[in-house]
């Protein structure tokens, strides 16, 4: 095994230990010296491993006293777009979806511009509240072109994964996405749904998804709790 890969392997091992609760939330990791002895590597390698985990939002430095395990958050990879349902499930969280609105409507000027269709084109609007480990963590709003998915509004997306149904029943897989992240402040409605104060800072994840034929499939506009999600590259 090449030395340059050791930091990744060690980070993987520590990450697994965190996920298995060998290092509980807010607990202190072993010191750099102890980790060097444990893995029989130089301090530079350990520091690189810890940086990987820190960049992922899994650990943090506290008053120069060492590295501590951060509260578990949902990790979303900016470069590798995946269904949030899959991400949440794969991380072992309990996942629940509440559909607040699902209807066939007409594209406004803004939505039409994002989907590159005419104003008034038929689109499905799906508005969901994602509940993870019994806590509301995200408001997920999707606009999908109705012409590609006739009958989509007959599905129960409290149980079914949107992207999985698009693949299974319509043969449409999500190939890639173009997303933008920004900080927004909770409206009264968003604050009530997410159990935060009005004007509390939130993450906005918005953009478009493409299928494997390079067609624009969806415009999504999600609002996420800052302390529940972390984005990595």
Q: Are residues 138 and 27 in the same domain?
A: no
Supply the CATH number for residue 219's domain.
Answer: 3.40.1410.10
Mean pLDDT of the chain: 92
Q: Are residues 25 and 137 in the same domain?
A: no
pLDDT of amino acid 58? 84
Q: Are residues 97 and 53 in the same domain?
A: no
How many structural domains compose the chain? 2
**For residue 41, what are the CA distances in angstroms to 7, 31, 126?**
9, 13, 51
**Domain interval for residue 149:** 74-232
Res. 170 pLDDT band, cuts 50 70 90 = very high
Domain end point (choices 21, 42, 69)? 69
Nearest to 206 by CA among 216, 197, 219, 196: 219
Q: Are residues 116 and 193 in the same domain?
A: yes
Condensed to tens digits (0 to 9), the pLDDT of residues 18-38 reads 988 899 988 999 999 999 999
Domain end point (choices 69, 92, 121)? 69
pLDDT of amino acid 62? 86
Q: Are residues 115 and 16 in the same domain?
A: no
- Contact between 161 and 83 under an 8 Å Cβ cutoff? The reply is yes
pLDDT of amino acid 106? 97
pLDDT of amino acid 1? 40
Supply the CATH number for residue 21's domain.
Answer: 1.10.10.10
Q: Are residues 121 and 214 in the same domain?
A: yes
pLDDT greater than 50 at residue 3? no
How much is the average pLDDT of 177-204? 96
Q: Are residues 110 and 160 in the same domain?
A: yes
Q: What is the pTM of this model?
A: 0.77
Contacts 24+ apart (CB under 8 A), 24-30: 24/69, 25/69, 25/70, 25/71, 25/72, 26/68, 26/69, 26/70, 26/71, 27/68, 27/69, 28/62, 28/65, 28/66, 28/67, 28/68, 28/69, 29/59, 29/66, 29/67, 29/68, 29/69
Q: Are residues 196 and 87 in the same domain?
A: yes
The percentage of residues in the chain with a pLDDT greater than 70, rounded to a whole number, is 98
- Contact between 88 and 74 under an 8 Å Cβ cutoff? The reply is yes
Res. 2 pLDDT band, cuts 50 70 90 = very low
Domain end point (choices 34, 69, 104)? 69
How would you class 209 by CB atoms within 10 Å of its CB: exposed for 0-12, middle for 13-18, buried for 19 or more?
buried
Q: Are residues 87 and 49 in the same domain?
A: no
Q: Are residues 112 and 10 in the same domain?
A: no
Condensed to tens digits (0 to 9), the pLDDT of residues 126-153 reads 999 999 999 999 999 999 999 999 999 9
pLDDT greater than 70 at residue 207? yes
- Contact between 157 and 149 under an 8 Å Cβ cutoff? The reply is no
How much is the average pLDDT of 98-112? 96
- Contact between 42 and 36 under an 8 Å Cβ cutoff? The reply is yes
- Kindly state the helix (H) or strand (E) to which residue 197 belongs, with its residue range: none
Q: Are residues 157 and 192 in the same domain?
A: yes
Q: Are residues 40 and 94 in the same domain?
A: no
Structure tokens at 169: 């029943």
pLDDT of amino acid 5? 83
Separation CA 53–CA 35 (nearest Å): 14
């Amino acid at each position: 095994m090449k030395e340059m890969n050791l930091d990744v392997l060690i980070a993987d091992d520590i990450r697994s230990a965190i996920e298995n609760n060998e290092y509980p939330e807010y607990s202190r990791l072993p010191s750099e010296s102890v980790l060097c002895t444990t893995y029989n590597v130089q301090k530079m390698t350990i520091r690189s491993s810890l940086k990987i985990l820190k960049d992922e939002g899994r650990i943090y430095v506290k008053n120069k006293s060492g590295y501590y395990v951060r509260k578990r958050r949902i990790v979303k990879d900016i470069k590798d777009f995946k269904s949030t349902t899959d991400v949440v499930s794969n991380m072992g969280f309990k996942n629940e979806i509440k559909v607040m609105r699902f209807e066939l409507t007409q594209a406004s000027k803004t939505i039409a511009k994002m989907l590159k269709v005419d104003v008034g084109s038929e689109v499905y609007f799906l508005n969901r509240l994602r509940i993870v480990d019994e806590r509301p963590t995200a408001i997920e709003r999707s606009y999908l072109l109705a012409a590609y998915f006739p009958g989509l509004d007959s599905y129960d997306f409290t149980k079914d994964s949107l992207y999985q149904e698009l693949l299974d029943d319509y043969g449409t897989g999500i190939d890639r996405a173009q997303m933008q992240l920004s900080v927004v402040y909770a409206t009264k409605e968003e604050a009530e749904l997410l159990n935060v104060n009005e004007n509390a800072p939130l993450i906005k994840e918005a953009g478009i998804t493409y299928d494997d034929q390079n067609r624009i499939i969806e415009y999504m506009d999600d609002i996420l709790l800052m302390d529940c999600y972390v984005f990595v590259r």
